[in-house]
Amino acid sequence: MRERGSLHAFGDAIGVSATTIFNWVKQSKLRSHTSALHSSLTDENKFNMLIFSLSKLNYDRISNSLKLEDMGDIVHINEKWFYISQDGTKYFLLSEEVDPSRHCQSKSFITKVMFMAAVSRPIYDTDGNLLFDEKIGIFPFTSQDPAKRRSKNKPAGTLETKSVASINKQVTKDMLINKVIPAIHSK
């Protein structure tokens, strides 16, 4: 499958030109497909998800039926890693524009930053006007540290934004207490 990732790689693997492969795609002899990566859940994960879902059901005695809990007061929090930059980014430039120059310490070890996002359900008043837009915030796991030495780019002591190297229980707890919960209260 790795040899079928592009028209050129596929053509090289079977000994034909990329143009031939492109023509086969146009003639519907071949088709493109994007393969998504699926997470594999353990039986324990599936059981816990089922228990959580069932806990959100309420029995309504008036209509004699099951109803889902409102969940209007639930805040969903998730973490996500992002790379600061990617190698081989494609750009479209005007003919007179200068090519952008991007630099990093090592292309093998591109810096990653973790973010914590918090969202909830939107809230409307009785007239249908939006009171709360569901967005609470996105918070980076970064710190402002003074530069230890001077360089040609900055003097010593200049504040630099750096990614937190290790995200552990204490760092996550600190993020929740100092940034996420105050943002929820302010919204």
What is the predicted pLDDT for the residue at 154?
86
Q: Which two tokens stand for residue 166?
A: 């290790």
pLDDT, mean over the chain: 85
59 compared with 182, residue with greater pLDDT:
182
pLDDT at 108 over 90: no
Tokens of 21: 């492969």
pLDDT in tens, 20-57: 988 988 888 888 777 666 767 889 999 999 999 898 88
Distance between CA atoms of residues 132 and 96, nearest Å: 45
DSSP track, 69-108: ---TT-EEEEEEEEES--TT------TTSPPP----S-SS
Mean pLDDT score, 112-135? 89
pTM over 0.85: no
